[in-house]
Amino acid sequence: MSRSPGSDRTLASFWVGAVVAAALSLVGAPLPLPLDAGLLAHVAGMLAGYLSAVMVVLMSRAPLLERHVGSDVLTRWHSKGGRLFLILVCVHAGAALGAWAQTRQENLVTALVAVLGLPGLLAATLGTLLFFAIAGVSIRAARRRVSHEAWHGVHLLTYVAISLSFIHELAGPNLAGHPALQVAWTLMHVYALALVVRFRLLLPLENAWRHRLRVEAVVPEAPGVVSVIMSGRHLDELGAEPGQFFRWRFLSSGLWRTAHPFSLSAPRHGDFLRITVKALGGGSTRIQTLTPGTRVFAEGPSGAMTARRRTRGSVLLIAGGVGITPMRAMFETLEMTGGALTLIYRTSRPQDVIFRSELEHLARLRGAEVLWLIGPSSSPELQMTGQNLLRLVPDLAERDVYLCASPAMSAALRAGLAEAGLPLRHLHEEAFTF
Ligand SMILES: Cc1cc2nc3c(=O)[nH]c(=O)nc-3n(C[C@H](O)[C@H](O)[C@H](O)COP(=O)(O)OP(=O)(O)OC[C@H]3O[C@@H](n4cnc5c(N)ncnc54)[C@H](O)[C@@H]3O)c2cc1C
């Protein structure tokens, strides 16, 4: 899968920050540097503190990150960063305890009791236990057993855990006695938190006030699938691009507490936006029965799978199941001057196909092509092998390929497209899972 230049730049700037944080941990250290447990504790501690701020920034929904890196990539980084953070905290705690015990010739239990008495250490330990509890709920197996709402609620405790650890960071040997560094470190955390408040709290409220989105109609598309058409004001100011999604909060009973991500299934038309929702769980099932007039809060737009990623004249769009929604919007709007536009649409059963007449109409209008792959995945000709894909679209290696499908189909397609000769930097994906 291609990584956007925005992702590379963002990642590079995080690495630079990590180098600075590691360098700060050496402030005041004697020369030559003693390569011991104490030094390891300092470096790991500063890196963990820095990473906790980065993790908050990654989830701040800052538009620059959401549009140029993409929510799925940010979420992946956040989950990898979370694991690294826990490792750094363990290394920091273990090495600090070991160094304390060694320099004072104490056993580990006596050292632990003494260390917990240091300023802010008890709170930091509680914060660490909270981090582990949050990680426990987030690991895949546990996550499957808890609802998204419960998982999200527990995740919000991250802010409490960071606050509990903060005093220890300022009082620790790297920053204590260096007021300028303490101020800079505090500003880093305040900045991360300010991004969250700005983009997760204030912006959705501002948008709600400015755009006054309401449900206009709910239109059945297929069994268990509806389109929700919403009207509002000044919607052009949202700058939403086909391929992007919003997090929608419908202010109706049973729905107002959760913001669900859904892609635009059509480009904005005047004062109207459309999403198309498949009933997969509690929230998406309730959306099927929304009534016109329901107020809507929209957070976004997010997502980097847009026309901006294109570098080639011809495009292949591939959709699996309800993954057709962002592709439908792009099929209408991608600029085609001289290049070809093909949509492969894969569903298991004919009744699962949505937008059939719209897609046929757009294909005629735009001189584009839709290839319908309908049937069970056991059919050899429907499998996403390189050979089958090349049979369908012989020049696919020369195109930009956009993909939105289930994790299993996406994995098969990644392998098939690579086998067919597509350089993976020309593959642009949106995953419907975080
Ligand atoms: C970027 C993106 C775009 C999407 N676009 C579409 C679309 O156009 N059409 C469509 O039908 N579906 C889309 N989805 C999937 C849709 O968001 C989920 O099916 C829906 O939120 C499930 O909610 P639920 O309460 O019905 O299901 P649940 O039973 O609560 O959960 C089913 C699955 O959805 C996940 N999920 C639930 N709530 C959320 C949430 N608030 N945020 C993130 N994940 C959640 C759960 O972790 C679980 O994996 C998209 C998902 C993402 C991430």
pLDDT at 148: 80
pLDDT digits (tens, 9 = 90+) for 332-378: 999 988 899 999 999 999 999 999 999 999 999 999 999 999 999 88
pLDDT at 269: 95
Average pLDDT, the chain: 92
Q: Structure tokens of 325?
A: 């929604």
pLDDT at 182: 92
Query: Which atom of ligand 1 lies nearest, measured to the CA of 263?
Result: 8
Residue ranges matching CATH 1.20.120 in the chain: 5-202
Percent of the chain whose pLDDT exceeds 70 = 98
> DSSP letter at 104?
H
Query: Which atom of ligand 1 lies nearest, measured to the CA of 285?
Result: 26
| Residue partners of 97: CB distance under 8 A and separation at least 6 | 108, 111, 112, 115
**Long-range CB contacts for residues 215-221, cutoff 8 Å, separation at least 24:** 215/250, 215/290, 215/291, 215/292, 215/293, 215/294, 215/296, 216/272, 216/292, 217/292, 218/288, 218/289, 218/290, 218/291, 218/292, 221/276, 221/354, 221/355
pLDDT at 430: 86
Residue type, 314: S
pLDDT digits (tens, 9 = 90+) for 59-117: 999 998 988 888 888 989 999 999 999 999 999 999 999 999 988 888 989 989 988 88
434 has pLDDT over 70: no
> DSSP letter at 276?
E
pLDDT digits (tens, 9 = 90+) for 386-419: 999 999 999 999 999 999 999 999 999 999 999 9
Asked whether 432 lines ligand 1 (CB < 6 A), one says yes
Closest Cα partner for 277 from 242, 252, 246, 305?
246
pLDDT digits (tens, 9 = 90+) for 24-46: 888 777 777 777 888 999 999 99
Residue ranges matching CATH 3.40.50.80 in the chain: 308-429
pLDDT at 1: 57
Using 50, 70 and 90 to split pLDDT, how confident is the model at 138?
confident
| Residue partners of 322: CB distance under 8 A and separation at least 6 | 225, 276, 278, 354, 432
2 has pLDDT over 60: no
Pocket test for ligand 1, best of 61, 145, 280, 404 (most atoms within 8 A of CB): 280
pLDDT digits (tens, 9 = 90+) for 259-310: 999 999 999 999 999 999 999 989 999 999 999 999 999 998 998 899 999 9
Which residue has the CA at smallest separation from atom 25 of ligand 1? 283
pLDDT digits (tens, 9 = 90+) for 200-251: 999 999 999 999 999 999 999 999 999 999 999 999 999 999 999 999 999 9
pLDDT at 216: 98
Q: Given 1.25.40, 3.90.550, 1.20.120, 2.50.20, which CATH number is that of 5-202?
A: 1.20.120
pLDDT at 142: 74
Ligand 1 centroid – CA 135 distance (Å) = 21
The domain made up of 212-302 has a fold known as Elongation Factor Tu (Ef-tu); domain 3 (2.40.30)
The reply to whether CATH 3.40.50.80 applies to domain 308-429 is: yes
Alpha helix (H) residue ranges in 29-70: 37-58, 63-68
pLDDT at 377: 85
Q: Structure tokens of 69?
A: 């890196």
CB 322 within 8 A of CB 276: yes
Residue ranges matching CATH 2.40.30.10 in the chain: 212-302
184 has pLDDT over 90: yes
Percent of the chain whose pLDDT exceeds 90 = 71
Query: Which atom of ligand 1 lies nearest, measured to the CA of 283?
Result: 25
Look up the pTM and report it.
Answer: 0.86
Pocket test for ligand 1, best of 147, 276, 432, 434 (most atoms within 8 A of CB): 432
Ligand 1 centroid – CA 148 distance (Å) = 9
Parallel, antiparallel or unpaired: strands 296-302 and 245-250: antiparallel
